[in-house]
Amino acid sequence: MQKSPFGNVRKVRYNIMNIGIVIGGNQRGGAERQVSLLAQGLLNKGFLVVVFFMSHPYYFGGKHDFGKVKCIHLYNTRYTKHVSLPYFRYLLKKYDISHLHTFILESIEYGIEALTGSHIKHIGSERSIFFAENPSLAVRLREACKGVSMITCNCRAMQELMVTLDITSHEKTRVVNNGIVLGREAKLSCNKNNKDAFNILFVGTLKDIKDPLSFVKAAFRVLETQGNFKFTIAGDGPLRGAIENLLKNSRFADSFTLLGSLPNEHIPYAMANLLISTSTTEASSNSILEALSEGVPVIGTAVGGTKELLVGNSFGRLVEPGDIEGIANAIEEFHNKPDYEIMNISKKAKEFISNNYSVEQMVNEYIKLYGAA
């Protein structure tokens, strides 16, 4: 039986805090996964917790498991066809919410408006680093930070960027690492002499900021001299057509598998020998953390939270964004390592995640913040 990601807990009711969590903006990726893990962790520790979705129920079609957590959609209900502040305020009162935790800028702004004149404590969490390249988002985030008790982010790089851009202060920000489900088996061997191919994985939305085209081009560079490689892309998006055209016009199409968008539990991390992250900007990448939790080494771009995760660690290599040759060389480096070294790297990767990114740690950190708000 798989170990619970929340550790061994006793259900003790904390009567002093009822937690409401808001997720908005049609987010369907890492943010929702973190909210689902946090909400279930709080519930397992005896908190009353309610998750509010600002989006149409269609956008949350069971992609993430919220278990027995009470979930309420604020959009397209029998009460309203739009997200309604009066309805939300009624629900906050109904469930006697004492602490509101809003994820993503849109829901932070919504929470601020809803709590005008209220004594409910408000904690915001920003997960995206897009504000670094979008001045209008930076302005909105600066105003939102003024309206919350504190703002959390998932890596030090994002915290430092928010302070540098005068969005908020060190005193008002907290870094809380993402929580990653532990206990899954990793594939430890990637010896080039194995009969099976050397499997390389890309996970992410196929859009410019993730730069999947650099992944494909680096793969071509490797395949020009080596044939025993397989490249898998898990994700979908606007650049899928461009990727398909690249493959169609190459002689390497048979070495690629495009899986499309997958539920997190179906992403084949355990079958991979390497994960490649080619993002041009990144906060704390769930796909990198999940790969490392299974002992899979990572080649990533030296940006934001990725640089923070991989620098100085044997299980990672950093390259500059768009550096096709650098990615190809790093692939060759891992491919040429002997089994004993890969096994040691895999062990260190799993220990790193276990020591720093467990769900239990994440939940406990947020509980401390609720108490301090």
Q: Which of 303, 257, 285 is nearest to 357 (CA)?
A: 285
For residue 358, give Cα distances in angstroms to 90, 114, 163, 189, 323.
35, 32, 27, 24, 32
Length of the chain: 373
- Together in a domain, 227 and 280: yes
Q: Is the pLDDT of residue 12 over 60?
A: no
What average pLDDT does the segment 103-115 reach? Answer: 93
- Model pLDDT, residue 369: 94
- Please give the tally of structural domains in the chain: 2
Query: Token digits for 80?
Result: 């309203």
Beta carbons of 63 and 32 less than 8 angstroms apart:
yes
Full residue range of the structural domain in which residue 27 is found: 18-179+358-372
Q: 103 and 123 share a domain?
A: yes
- Is the domain of 211 the same as that of 314? yes
Domain containing 112 — which CATH number? 3.40.50.2000
Does residue 269 contact residue 248 with C-beta atoms inside 8 Å?
no
In a domain, residue 111? The reply is yes
Please check whether residues 285 and 310 belong to one and the same domain: yes
Q: Domain check: are 164 and 40 in the same one?
A: yes
C-alpha to C-alpha distance for 238 and 80, rounded to whole angstroms: 32
Residue with tokens 């066809």: 81
Q: d(Cα 92, Cα 107) in Å, to the nearest integer? A: 15
In this structure, the answer to whether residues 49 and 70 fall within a common structural domain is yes
Other Cβ atoms closer than 10 A to 133: 11
- Supply the pLDDT for residue 192: 38
Among 12-21, 82-91, 304-313, top mean pLDDT goes to 304-313
Tell me the backbone φ, ψ of residue 132, rounded to 5 degrees.
Answer: -65, -25
**In which band, very low, low, confident or very high, does the pLDDT at 26 lie, cut at 50, 70 and 90?**
low
**Phi and psi for 298 in degrees, rounded to 5?**
-130, 135
User: Residue 62: pLDDT band by 50, 70, 90 thresholds?
Assistant: very low
Q: Is there a single domain that holds both residue 202 and residue 334?
A: yes
Q: How confident is the model at residue 10 (pLDDT cuts 50, 70, 90)?
A: very low
Over residues 115-173, the pLDDT tens digits come to: 999 999 999 999 888 888 889 999 999 999 999 999 999 999 999 999 999 999 999 99
Report field, pTM of the whole predicted structure over 0.75: yes
80: left (phi over 0), alpha (psi -120 to 50) or beta: beta
- Average pLDDT in the chain: 87
Residues 168 and 202 occupy one common structural domain:
no
Whole-number pLDDT of residue 80: 53
Helical spans, DSSP H, in 211-323: 212-223, 240-248, 286-293, 304-310
**pLDDT digit string, tens, across residues 29-55:** 678 889 999 999 999 999 999 999 886
Residue 222: inside a domain: yes
Q: Which two tokens stand for residue 370?
A: 């609720």
